[in-house]
Structures are given as C-alpha cells and as structure tokens.
Amino acid sequence: MVKKPAGNQMWGGRFSARPDAIMEAINASIGYDKKLYAQDIEGSKAHAAMLADQGIITKSDAKKIMQGLDTISSEIGEGTFEFSTALEDIHMNVEARLKDLIGEPAGRLHTARSRNDQVATDFRLWVKAQALHVHAILGELIDVFVDLAEKHADTVMPGFTHLQTAQPVTFGHHMMAYVEMFARDRSRAADAVERMNECPLGAAALAGTGFAIDRKATAKALGFREPTRNSLDSVSDRDFALDYLSLAAICAGHLSRLAEELVIWSTPQFSFVRLTDQFSTGSSIMPQKRNPDAAELIRAKTGRINGDLIALLTVMKGLPLAYSKDMQEDKEAVFDAADNLELAILAMTGMMKGITVNAASMAKAAGSGFSIATDLADWLVRETNLPFREAHHVTGAAVAMAEKKGCGLEELSLDDLQGLHPSITKEVFSVLSVEKSVASRKSFGGTAPANVRRQVKYWRSRRAKEK
C-alpha cells in the first residue's frame, strides 16, 4: 500500500511531505475560483455521462457520480459546503467531497481528463455566460437611449469639439451616438461568444487521452458549438478571457465618456440635465450639494477594468506551451471586470431612465460661441459660388466683427455683412438660427430631427428582431 502524504490527497504518490504553509497560501485559488462551482459540476456531469456512454466507466458509477454532484451543488447553493484551502481549488474541493459522499466511484470521474482541460472548460462556460449577459443588458441600455432620442429629436444643444462649442446638434442625435457605441459593444460580445464557443474538455493535461472518449458529445452537452481542435492550445488558451476583458474595457470607456458628460452637464454652470435622487448623493457639510456620484464611480471603474485587461495580457505574454500555473491568475481579473462592468451598465441604465433634460438651458447654450458660423460659410458657397476656403475667411471676419460688437452672427446688420462681402443678401438670415442649422443637416447620419426619427425607427425595428 502506497502511503499518502498529509494535506492534499489528490496528487498521488509522488510527494512524501505536505506543502509549506506559504506554498499552500500562494498555490490555493479556492478563495475566488469557487465562483465556478456550477460550471465545474456541469462539466463533470457531462464528462461522467460521456464516460458511461463510451463504456469507460459503468452506468452504475456514473449514476452515483451524478447524484453526488447534485448533492454538492445543493450544499454549495445553500451555503453548507466547507471549502478547504488545502484542496487548492474548486475542482479538488468538489472531487474530495464527492469521495466522501459516494466512495470509490468518485475516483473514476477524473478518468481521461486533467485539471488543465477541466478549468479551461469551466472558465469558458463562465465567461461565455457573462458575455451573453453583457449582450443582453446592453440591449436594455440601448432601448433607454432610443426612447430618449425619440423624445428629444427636436431638442437643440451645442455640439462640441475640444469641449468648445462647435455646431448645434440635437440631444436626440447625441443619444443616438451612444446607441451606435453600445451596439458595437454588443457586437463585440457576440463575436467573442462565437470565438469561444469551442469545448476544451477532453484535451486532458496537454496531449489528449488514450481513452476512446467522445468530445463532440461533451461539447454538445455543455452547449458548445464543437470541441477545440488542438490539445496544446486547448489547455493554454486564454484568448476567450482576453476577448471578454477587451470588450469590457472598450465598453467601460464608452460608459466613462458618457459619465463624464453627465458630470459636466449636471453642474449649475451647464444645467443641461438633472439626475434623480436615486442616483445622486449629498454632502456631509454642504446641504445644497447634489453630487453625480454614480456617474463618477462609473468613470472610475473604467480604470479598474482597464487594469484587469493589462494584468492578464501581462500574465500571458511570455508563457510557453502548454499550461503554466501563472494562468491561475486569470480568473480574479475577469471576475473583477465582470462585476464592475455589469454594475456600471446597470447604473447607467438607471440614471438615463430617470434623467431630466433642461431643454431651455440646452437651447440657450446651443447658440453660444457663434455655433452657426459654418451655416454662414455654407450659404456663401451655395448662394454666391465662393470657394469654401474664401467663404471660411469671410465668415471668420464676421465672427470677429460680432465678437467685437458683443452680439451673435444673426444680429449683425446686412450692411455689416455686405461690408465683408458685397454678394451677401438678406436671404442669408434665413439660415442664421440654431433650429434652421440643425434642420439643414439632412445628410445621412446628420443631426436633423427628421434623420433622428428615421434612426429611431431603424433601431426600434432592429431591436424588435433581436428580441
């Protein structure tokens, strides 16, 4: 009889002494990978069923394994399962408990698999589900923006470049810009799912197995499109996790840009929007304050999510094939990013559902900073046949004159304008207003209210098909 060492019983007879306490601490991942318990049990049940179907283990043993795994699932779900750091990870914790419950048949479960393909499968299942979840909740966020765009198709506001007033746009058009961003995020989630929809189970440690397993059966049972094609890549690939972190970082960046705008827009100096009490906080000393803390925290969480991406990129950058223990560091970054991205999306959805738009403040600001200057230049090109560069020069002179007089372009007299260029007629005043400016931007993708309504119709139809 081979004597087993104290401590971890799953390593077999190679070791004669238990790990040092520090080694046990650095080696253990159960503190966070217990999050994968449902996927681990699902994968083990699919593996056991396949082993039985292939005649590698008996139907009787498979039945006992299934029953034991169901019991463990209930124990973990109910909070009565005792996790052990000495058993390192979720896989060994489940297997040890299974042995306590059903005895010898538990030892047959690990036939034709390794922790390497086991964890790769569990983690893929989890990341795939999370990507699908992000895809779904981004759809709900898009619906909120489409509603806002429809409601505010005619609400004018300043459009900015360099955070300086550029040209008038509509708030509806601004909201539809975020629809485009979040739709791209959804497409990235869908693309990531398509790429990760291959099952590593059966790749074993790195070289496959000599047992007559059916990898297509386990892939199908676990909801994957097909099994992975190379055993070395199967156990060493974490592209699926990087795909998720990449889309999370890009999506968080979009959320952060909007959060920054909400912070600015909700200031008394702008007074473009008001956030609800549910998504604002006060001050412990200044009773008048309404702080946009939810938006600020969304903006900050982008830093965490970006850091998670960089962390895993750095872990993976120098690893030779196949599996290395470094990859144990893959999960915490993904779990952290997933938790924070979900929270940020849900918080943004809540904020935007309840947002109040101050149309009067937006309209007042829309005409500031000579925002209709381009309309004057365009009129000169259309009506007087001036080259655009010359029209640009004339318009610049008109802006300088209006600035000196302390008035808007539309408030300059015809004599003032004709002094800059004699071909200007009184018809020029027909384009010198914020409302006429936005209405004229009818090119595909432009800010004209009619365009916004067409885009709203398009997105309502697209979303109806997606649902």
* Active site members: 162, 283
Joined together, the tokens standing for residue 335 give: 């779990």
Joined together, the tokens standing for residue 296 give: 């600020």
Does the bond joining 249 to the residue before it have cis omega, within 30 degrees of 0? no
What's the CA gap between 317 and 326, in Å, rounded? Answer: 11
* Beta-carbon contacts of residue 72 (< 8 Å; ≥ 6 apart): 41, 81, 94, 97, 98, 101
Closest CA to 115 of 203, 241, 214: 203
Closest CA to 253 of 299, 295, 292, 297: 299
Question: Which amino acid type is present at position 105?
Answer: P
Joined together, the tokens standing for residue 83 give: 């996790």
What's the CA gap between 131 and 116, in Å, rounded? Answer: 22
Question: Which amino acid type is present at position 223?
Answer: G
CA 453 and chain centroid, separation: 27
What's the CA gap between 68 and 96, in Å, rounded? Answer: 11
Q: Are strands 156-161 and 164-170 parallel, antiparallel or unpaired?
A: antiparallel
| CB distance 447 to 438 below 8 Å | yes
H helices present in 79-200, as ranges: 90-102, 115-151, 171-196
Task: Please give the radius of gyration of the chain, using alpha carbons only, rounded to the nearest integer.
Answer: 31
The b/e string for 159-193 (b: 16+ C-beta within 10 A; e otherwise) is bbeeeebebbbbbbbbbbbbbebbbebbebbeebb
Closest CA to 172 of 362, 335, 376: 362
What's the CA gap between 433 and 375, in Å, rounded? Answer: 9
